[in-house]
Amino acid sequence: MAALRSAQADAAQPFPLGLNTYCLRALRWNDAQLIAYAAEQKLDSIFLQDSLDPATMEPAHWDEVRELAKRQQLHLETGGGGLWNSDPEKNFDQTVATLRTHISRARAMGSPIVRCVIAGSRAALPKGPADPVIEYVLRVVKQVRSQLMAAGLRIAFEIHKDLQAWEYRQLIEAAGPALVGTYLDTGNPIFVMEDPMTTLEELGKYALTVHLRDSLVYETRHGIAVQWVPLGEGIIDFRAFLHRLGELTAASGNGVSVYVKPITGRPPEILPIYDRAFWERFPKARAADLAKFLALAKRGEPYDKPMVVEDLAGRTTPDYLLRAIQHQQRDHVERSLDYARKQLNLGGRWRS
């Protein structure tokens, strides 16, 4: 990470550019194939997320991955999954044990962070304020504190579809920025009625890794529609986002790679903001933040380019559509990388 900080100390130096491998999940490549692909694309970094490699949890494989990434001159980051489940108290010890394994894995693979998610969505959490969830996560972090410190790692909580940015800030400040920070994702805030610029202002100084997803946000009769699209084809102002990110990370001293992460092939989702029951999950939502999100929606409109829509949660892609999804995922990744290089001036290795 020292090299990343050094690179970002010079305002003219772009952020290192990487790929989040979850974007290519339909290809079912192993870790070696993903690392080779990142090198072919002349990237600076790779984020191995939700690896499909059959050896992903084998310690011998972790050493192999670290050496592969080093050989290809790729900065590597990785981590685990969710901490909240249907019976969190009953499963507390198992949650801690799983996180410990992912800390060991991240360290062995050379990652400076271990990615964590709290929950898949707000709907997976109890109705009402998020305070009990934050308290639970703080208890989990306390259990692994000594292991994190010994490993020299920090937990990076992915900005997901569960908490709003100000709630994540409370969590990070309570746990301590020396132990935890933010996996700053620009695609998930829209699912909790938040403009990604709001998320950045709340959490940018705690960013440990940054993942770019573009989105469409627009008004419908039943609420606000949200959908992910390739970078540069949505409504997010990435130039403004990256400019402000540079200011915040320069002040914090946190060196970050910026990863392209276009998760596409999913239908628009409607946020039923006119339904009173919907707000039972957000009793402390902030009016100013909602107003900024609604202003974003008023500028948006439905996606007008071709897209195969099949990547649905809990459903296997039919064989007759699999090759189309595979082609689309790779095409959307490469279009997004091209946009990141040419329009956002990200990355260094591809220039030589």
Instruction: Write out pLDDT tens, residues 65-74.
Output: 999 999 999 9
Output the pLDDT for position 12: 53
Output the pLDDT for position 167: 98
Output the pLDDT for position 36: 98
Q: Are 2 and 255 in contact (CB under 8 A)?
A: yes
Output the pLDDT for position 8: 44
Residue-wise burial string across 8-33, b where 16 or more C-beta atoms lie within 10 A, e elsewhere: beeeeebbbbbbbbbbbbbbebbbee
d(CA 229, CA 349): 26
Phi, psi of 97 (to 5 degrees): -60, -40
Quick one: average pLDDT of 110-131? Answer: 97
- Give residue limits of the domains in the chain: 2-215+230-265+319-351
d(CA 279, CA 272): 9
Domain 2-215+230-265+319-351: which topology?
TIM Barrel (3.20.20)
> pLDDT tier at 96 (50, 70, 90 boundaries)?
very high
Q: By three-state DSSP, how is residue 51 classified?
A: coil
pLDDT 10s digits, 290-348: 999 999 999 999 999 999 998 887 788 899 999 999 999 999 999 999 999 999 999 99
CA distance from start to end of the chain: 22
Instruction: Read off the pTM.
Output: 0.95
> pLDDT tier at 13 (50, 70, 90 boundaries)?
confident
Question: How confident is the prediction for the chain on average, in pLDDT?
Answer: 95
Q: Are 106 and 65 in contact (CB under 8 A)?
A: no
Instruction: For residue 32, give Cα distances in angstroms to 35, 39, 55, 199, 350.
Output: 5, 11, 11, 34, 20
**pLDDT at residue 161 greater than cutoff 70:** yes
Q: Quick one: which H or E segment has residue 62? A: helix 59-71
pLDDT 10s digits, 197-224: 999 999 999 999 999 999 999 999 999 9
What share of the chain has pLDDT > 90, as a percent?
Answer: 94
Output the pLDDT for position 316: 85
DSSP assigned state of 175: H
**pLDDT at residue 11 greater than cutoff 50:** no
**pLDDT at residue 93 greater than cutoff 70:** yes
Strand order in the sheet with 223-229: 214-220, 223-229, 269-271
Other C-beta atoms lying within 10 Å of the C-beta of residue 123: 11
**pLDDT at residue 175 greater than cutoff 70:** yes
Quick one: average pLDDT of 163-192? Answer: 98
What DSSP string describes 244-283?
Answer: HHHHHHHHH-----EEE----S---EEE-TT-GGGGGG-T
Quick one: average pLDDT of 14-29? Answer: 97
**pLDDT at residue 166 greater than cutoff 50:** yes
**pLDDT at residue 10 greater than cutoff 80:** no
Q: Quick one: which H or E segment has residue 6? A: helix 2-9
pLDDT 10s digits, 259-283: 999 999 999 999 999 999 999 999 9
What share of the chain has pLDDT > 70, as a percent?
Answer: 97
d(CA 257, CA 183): 11
d(CA 109, CA 105): 6
**pLDDT at residue 193 greater than cutoff 90:** yes
